[in-house]
Structure 1
Amino acid sequence: MPTNESDQIILGWREWVEFPELEIDNLIAKVDSGAKTSALHAYHVEPFNKGDTPWVRFKLHPIQDNNEVSITLEAKLSDRRHVSDSGGHKELRYVIEAVMNIGGHERRGEITLTDRDSMKYRMLIGRNILKQGFLVNAKQSFACGKPET
């Protein structure tokens, strides 16, 4: 983990991300230092159990500005908690833990699941990931480049 500012990885205001465990490639995410927790677009969210372990199944539109393509994903459920959105509205959200790859830099963190259909970006990278060795340069976009998948 970087220990000083010169060791930090520079991100732009939006970046390409991947979730290797969820088999999601090339998702455009908005970087939001005002958001405490990262958020992923999800709809038709339904909890279920695998044995004694709680899981969640959800659908995702992985391509920005395209609601025709949809994938179904499953992830181990980490928590369920109230989260305030940018407008101050509280919403009860499912929380998963996942590895996120940004420009070849993998970080594990909590991701809340919420319907972001009305938002431009399917993913929001919050402070819980940013504090793991990233700095944001708001002048840049896609500072880490596009993944080679």
Structure 2
Amino acid sequence: MSDIKKRLSLLKVEKRIKGLKGIKDVHFLTTKPKEIAWYAGELNPIDSPIPCLYEFPVDLATKDLSRSIQSLVDNRSQFILVLWEFSPIYVLFQMESLDDFLPSYFSEFFTRDLTLFFQDQEKVLDLHLAEDKVEVRVLENKAKNR
């Protein structure tokens, strides 16, 4: 992708991220950050290599959904959001409130998917909103040698 297209994509993302609630300390990257270099796969919910672990009803209240997701992230707050539609763009941020973040994300990006990498451990949380349920996939790098 040309530098001009990358810059335009980045500007679009920056503008839309400003509309999100419940996050702070936001940084943008157009190259894959070292924190997620361990993941070589493609996170595409249509043909995802990660099996679905949890399903929640789509009509679950945002507070209940965010509480369920919060239990999966072990109260972690540093994440990397990957926006695939923009070539991809990596957004590093601190989560202040999932209750505020989730509705603003799904309204601002008009997407049914959310991919969150943990900044401090080799783990990814992938959400896909199907017609009647929210599918949750979690992948952890268990093969790391540290």
Is the TM value for this pair above 0.5? no
Name the structure with the higher helix share: 2
**Quick one: higher RCO (CA 8 Å, sep 6+), 1 or 2?**
1
The normalised TM-score by structure 2 is 0.29
Structure ranking higher in strand proportion: 1
